Amino acid sequence: MIELYTWTTPNGEKPIIMLEECGMDYQLHMVDIGSGEQHADSFNALNPNEKIPVLVERTRGGYAETVIESGAIMVYLAEINNQFLPRTSPQRAKCLAWTFFQVGNTGPMIGQYHHFNNHSDQKIDYAIERYRKESVRVLGVLDRQLQSGEWLAGDYSIADMINWSWAKSGLKELSGHGTEKYDALADWVERIGRRPAVKRALDKLQDAKAKHG
């Protein structure tokens, strides 16, 4: 049985989308990062980095495989299901490149922009400007990639799923800063948002959050 520790944030959405796309059974554990549940000892035992998401796969014999870092979780799920990640390169390398493009670029840049623009006690213009420019640039890279194909790396894959949540929130948050001309990216965000598995994933996450209290 798969257990997913997560919350309703862009990083938290990625693995539940993949679980739904693969049609897997899983149990959700909500970790309210707003109230600091990620710092509990029981969670630190799963992820010493104290961040969601975390995936645990328990076997009948009681053995548990714990996977931290959303990029690794997406690859793990793709490999156990043999879905959404090509088996051989160059297609596999291309899919992994756009998957880890998110881990190193889309997430950190938009995440830091959001932090400095909305949550920082001090308004630090340099930090806001740096992450704003970098976020707009990174979203532009995705837009250009999507101008030449329906998906980021060949067929619909973990590369699309992992970039989607960040691109969706980035387009919203950076609207008026140059992202409104990213038509290919906006179409792709909408196309993925219409997928039944994606809708199910987001609904289940919201329901679980409401029940978590």
Ligand X SMILES: N[C@@H](CCC(=O)N[C@@H](CS)C(=O)NCC(=O)O)C(=O)O
For residue 100, the minimal CB distance to ligand X (Å) is 10
**Residue 83 · residue 21 · CB < 8 Å:** yes
Please, what's the b/e burial string for 108-123 (b: 16 or more CB within 10 A of its CB; e: otherwise)?
bbbbbbbebbeeeeee
Task: Characterize the bridge pairing of strands 54-58 and 26-30.
Answer: unpaired
Looking at the Cβ atoms of 100 and 191, the one nearer to ligand X is: 100
Looking at the Cβ atoms of 50 and 173, the one nearer to ligand X is: 50
Q: Tokens standing for 122? A: 């001090």
For residue 147, the minimal CB distance to ligand X (Å) is 27
Whether a cis peptide bond, with omega within 30° of 0, leads into 48 is: no
Looking at the Cβ atoms of 36 and 194, the one nearer to ligand X is: 36
For residue 173, the minimal CB distance to ligand X (Å) is 14
For residue 163, the minimal CB distance to ligand X (Å) is 12
Looking at the Cβ atoms of 119 and 194, the one nearer to ligand X is: 119
**Residue 30 · residue 209 · CB < 8 Å:** yes
Instruction: By CB under 6 A, name the binding residues for ligand X.
Output: 9-12, 33, 38, 50-53, 69-71, 103
- Amino acid identity, residue 202? L
Q: Tokens standing for 18? A: 């993949």
